Structure 1
Amino acid sequence: MPKRILAAAAVAVALTVSTVLTGCGGGATGGAGAASTTVRLGLGDPAASSMGVSAKHFAEKVAELSDGKVKVETFPDGTLFGGDQNAAVNLLGNGTLDSTIMSTSVYASFEPKMNAISLPYLFKDQEEVTKYLEGEPGKELLGSLDKLGIKGVSMLTRTPRHTTNSVRPITQPEDFKDLKLRVPQNDLWVKFFGSVGANPTPMDFKEVYTALQLGTIDGQENPLEVPVNNKFFEVQDYLSLTSHISDAFVLGFSKKKWDSFDEDTRKVLQEAADDTADFKTKYDTDEATKTLEKLKGEGVKINELTPEAREKFQAAAQKVYPELEGKVGKEFVQSSLEFLGR
């Protein structure tokens, strides 16, 4: 069984968080043959996030494989694209950016198929997410970026999304009733949370802390590390491990930049990206327990869903699938379900 699947299975046991990548390029089968070059990699997340750590790993791996000939300069916190991740995709496509790491939920604004990963309760556990990303669906998603002028090099797992709020623990679908919950500006989130009675509220992420503090919204949902990195524990009382939606990250290059590399350099970048995908899954597994302990230490009350409650959530999610097919593409939804044995 691949290392990533083993690691992902461990995540599912630990709990059933945004990130960054950085690196250098060279040649997988002959780093010495790679030409010297520099890549500017724009990142949306802080250097201290789990992706920041993965970025460091990527940099070291590429330097090793290329004998230090190819250097990637990393710019975290959205500094190369003014914090606007949609703009980053456009800049990547037209060649203004060399490379970046963005979530599939951002790419979904440009390629609807990316929404498939975020169908609520599509996956039973993190092991299935890894299998999906490594398999034909993941390859098809990477290939779908070609028309945007982007070379999708690798997909990296992201831990599932959970719910925090200041009103009550979420143990059953009906506990969402009337909760004003910040969600991304994506109809999948709006449709799902609306179906369980919440009041989903799309909002720019940089506004979330203040909105939680002022009580403008009751809660938010994100991968586990987000409430820690952004200190939401200061303004949220409950964390419910709902694992309702997954997404992933795409390590992408401008096709103009990618095509300018010699074959050895492309091989190294690919090998280093694949190695980093394995690394990140394992790192997230190891960090999950630490993150939960940090939140507990800050006084956050944490609860997991029972198997019975999870079945209720899955049933609620499946009711909205027909409405969501148009956001993804019916054929790709069906092929995804078939791949997962549904």
Structure 2
Amino acid sequence: MKIANLVNRRTFTKGLAGMAIATTALTALTFGARAETNLRLAVPDPIGSSVGVAATRFAELVKEKTGGEVTVDVFPDGVLFGGDQNAAVNQLGSGALDGLILASSVYASFEPRMNAISLPYLFSNYGQLQSYLRGKPGKELLGSLDKLGVKGLGFFLRTFRDVTTRDTPITKLEDFKGITIRTPNNPLFVALFQKLGANPTPMAFSEVYSALQLKAIDGQENPVEVPLHNRFYEVQGQLNLTQHIADSFLIALSGQAWDRIPEDHRAEVQAAADEMIAEHDANEIATEEKIIDELQEKGMKVNRFADGELARVQKVARSIYPQFKEQIGADFVDESLAFVDADKASGAKTGQ
């Protein structure tokens, strides 16, 4: 009887030990699963570009704030979406892409209100653009992505868009006449350059360098860091500081990827996006002149509008507002114009 009790106690002890080991293993598997929450973030430009640096910083901050339980791998140069930016938005909505950073002007093909950001010469300075993106209009635009199955984390600014050309300097309104300029596949951009007298040619960004090289187009328009990091200075001789349109980058996750993030880490991922955006914006504005100088060093001639010409160009450019009011949404256009006017008035009162 004593031997039987001893055997039973030993069996019971082994059973407890086995349960403890199993519990430990299950706990390890649980934490291991959390540690394996990995997101693949696609960006359209090289890793050393403004957007590539922003993506890398976001990945660092996510890892830091979540203790490594959520990680982000950055894939530059549009490799995850074949360079087709419209296709990338579709892939993000379907969950085929976990995360994406793209220009807000690309999203305008899916959410027309995004075009409000790019109304030509709407913003006079970067402070106004930042106020807009972080204020009520920007929050409304982020919320509009829900219907696409996309979780918008925030906007970060790009410097204003400028035109590069092969040979033709642009210093007055008439200089736009007849120039073939690549634009995004966005009706607002096309209408603007048609109104200015140019020949806008929508084209996938991945095709731009070869089209410039083969002289199929005369020029393109983008923030100045784009011709620098994509080596357009090799096939373009003129940098024209037209500053015609504001744009922004939008960092977003698919709804499915957002749901995969442990609920107690979602606020930390959002905080990582917010911190990256604040850092990026300050750096972007500070480096614009440095980039212009660097492009000049690489052989590009820098051109600015002659006296009185900016006002002429602005008048023509803003004449397309009524054309897009219905497409964007009359109420949202009015809200945007009122917001910017109020911000301008506030800046004037405070001496900014």
Do both proteins adopt the same fold according to a TM-score greater than 0.5, normalized to the shorter chain?
yes
Deviations 1:109-130 (A, max 9, x none): 1111111111111111111111
Contact conserved, 1:115 with 1:327, CA < 8 A, in 2? no
Determine the structure 1 residue equivalent to 2:273.
Answer: 273
**Counterpart-to-counterpart distance in 2, 1:327 and 1:247:** 18
Q: What's the CA shift for 1:206?
A: 2.4
Determine the structure 2 residue equivalent to 1:204.
Answer: 204
Q: What's the CA shift for 1:306?
A: 5.3
Q: What SS does the aligned partner of 1:257 have?
A: helix
Residue type of the alignment partner of 1:148: L
Determine the structure 2 residue equivalent to 1:289.
Answer: 289
Q: What's the CA shift for 1:304?
A: 2.5
Pairwise mapping of residues 126-275 of structure 1 onto structure 2 (< 5 A)? 126-275=126-275
Contact conserved, 1:35 with 1:265, CA < 8 A, in 2? no
Residue type of the alignment partner of 1:328: I
TM-score normalised over the length of structure 2: 0.83
**Larger-gyration structure (1/2):** 2
Q: What SS does the aligned partner of 1:88 have?
A: helix
Contact conserved, 1:238 with 1:302, CA < 8 A, in 2? yes
Determine the structure 2 residue equivalent to 1:79.
Answer: 79
**Counterpart-to-counterpart distance in 2, 1:285 and 1:306:** 24
Q: What's the CA shift for 1:191?
A: 0.8
Deviations 1:19-58 (A, max 9, x none): xxxxxxxxxxxxx9x9432112222221111111112221
5+ residue gaps, structure 1, are 1-31
Which has more helix, going by share of residues? 2
Determine the structure 2 residue equivalent to 1:317.
Answer: 317
Q: What's the CA shift for 1:106?
A: 1.3
**Higher relative contact order by CA 8 Å / sep ≥ 6: 1 or 2?**
1
State the 4+ residue runs in structure 1 displaced beyond 4 angstroms: none
Q: What's the CA shift for 1:310?
A: 2.2
Contact conserved, 1:237 with 1:300, CA < 8 A, in 2? yes
**Counterpart-to-counterpart distance in 2, 1:288 and 1:212:** 23
Q: What SS does the aligned partner of 1:152 have?
A: strand
* Aligned alpha-carbon RMSD (Å): 1.9
TM-score normalised over the length of structure 1: 0.86
Contact conserved, 2:167 with 2:238, CA < 8 A, in 1? yes
Q: What SS does the aligned partner of 1:144 have?
A: helix
**Counterpart-to-counterpart distance in 1, 2:67 and 2:86:** 34
**Counterpart-to-counterpart distance in 2, 1:323 and 1:284:** 32
Q: What's the CA shift for 1:222?
A: 0.8
**Counterpart-to-counterpart distance in 2, 1:55 and 1:196:** 35
Determine the structure 1 residue equivalent to 2:58.
Answer: 58
**Counterpart-to-counterpart distance in 2, 1:170 and 1:248:** 24
Determine the structure 2 residue equivalent to 1:119.
Answer: 119
Deviations 1:250-278 (A, max 9, x none): 11111122133333311111111011111
Q: What's the CA shift for 1:230?
A: 2.0
Identity %: 50
**Counterpart-to-counterpart distance in 1, 2:315 and 2:281:** 28
Which range is displaced more, 119-128 or 253-262? 253-262
Q: What SS does the aligned partner of 1:200 have?
A: strand
**Counterpart-to-counterpart distance in 1, 2:91 and 2:199:** 34
Which range is displaced more, 205-214 or 38-47? 205-214
Q: What SS does the aligned partner of 1:340 have?
A: helix
Contact conserved, 2:83 with 2:206, CA < 8 A, in 1? no
Q: What's the CA shift for 1:194?
A: 0.8
Contact conserved, 1:46 with 1:76, CA < 8 A, in 2? yes
